[in-house]
Amino acid sequence: MIMRREIKHFLYGIAVLLLIVAGTSVAKAQNASDLKLNEILVLNDSNSVDDFGMHTAWIEIFNSAYNTVDMGGCYLTDDLSNPTKYWIPTGDPATKIPSRNYMVFWADNHPTRGIFHLNFDLKNAKTIAIFNADGKTLVDKVDLPSEHKPDITYGRPTNESTEWVHLEKSTPGANNDYTKKKSAGESFVEFDPYGIGMTMIAMFVVFMSLAILFVIYKNMGRFFIRRGAAANKPVQSEVKVSAKHSAEEMSGEVNAAIAMALYLYQSELHDEENTVLTIQKVSRNYSPWSSKIYTLRKSPR
């Protein structure tokens, strides 16, 4: 009974943990607070073309989270007094931005061309903003400069930068920082040229793993020992109770009969028979197998 209760509590704990993880994942997947305006091109003379082959203004949005974010239901606008100017349709997998990835919207004032074509352009725009699905919560905004150069984008130098500048190269749907970066291995080699830090980290990880395994197996052993003791205790008590009831219910006559049977069994005498086989009588006077003519040999002549 105790073991069943422990197993039930263990299963309940796993179910609650799975619900918490699933709820957290869903909440993160629908969180638009990690979206950022990343790069904007107002005058597109010979820059990138849209899916209709047209040179139009475009807006790039960056997902700074480490999980997928669905933009469906959010709003884009060039007028803060009208935060719900363009509603991004829901239910389309194309509106999901993967982790640390980008999405481009074309500001061509032709929304009938697709969900990535806005119902406004950027000719007279002064501000670009993203609003959450409630139409009130401001996610991100940027104030555009008064002058724009053809095919020169306005954006963040890096994904983590809060400053906006005119970029030397336009990178729609890609990282604005195109300079060569050091790999993690190269950076670590500069920090630890002799490998001392790496050795210490490796030893720490190994010993911590061994300590964790020791604690886990020790607690598991205690758990199974305690469970076995709890499982055997009721059986022993039941045996004692049944023996007690049997002793109380047994009468004197029964005890006397059992004692007499044991005495007779121990003192009973058995006849010992010998192993000599004798034939007292045969069914007929003459029998071929006992005839001497078959057992005696004729004398030689």
Q: What is the mean pLDDT of residues 17-33?
A: 60
User: Confidence band (pLDDT; 50, 70, 90) for 300?
Assistant: low
The single residue listed with the structure tokens 């069943």 is: 4
> 3-state DSSP call for residue 167?
coil
- pTM equals 0.56
The more confidently predicted of residues 201 and 118 is 118
Whole-number mean pLDDT of the chain?
81
Could you give the angle at the alpha carbon of 241 between the alpha carbons of 240 and 244, nearest 5°? 85
> 3-state DSSP call for residue 216?
helix
Q: Which range has the worst mean pLDDT, 23-32, 102-111, 166-175, 180-189? A: 23-32
HSE-up of 244 (CA within 13 Å, CB side)? 6
Instruction: Annotate 52-109 with DSSP letters as a single string.
Output: TS---EEEEEEE-SSS-EE-TT-EEES-TT-TTSEEPPSS-GGGEEPTT-EEEEEEBS
Q: Over the stretch 44-86, which tens digit does the pLDDT of each residue have?
A: 999 999 999 999 999 999 999 999 999 999 999 999 999 999 9
User: Confidence band (pLDDT; 50, 70, 90) for 26?
Assistant: very low
Q: Is the pLDDT of residue 212 over 60?
A: yes
Determine the Cα–Cα distance for residues 252 and 260; give it in Å rounded to an integer: 12
Determine the Cα–Cα distance for residues 92 and 15; give it in Å rounded to an integer: 31
DSSP annotation of 34 reads: T
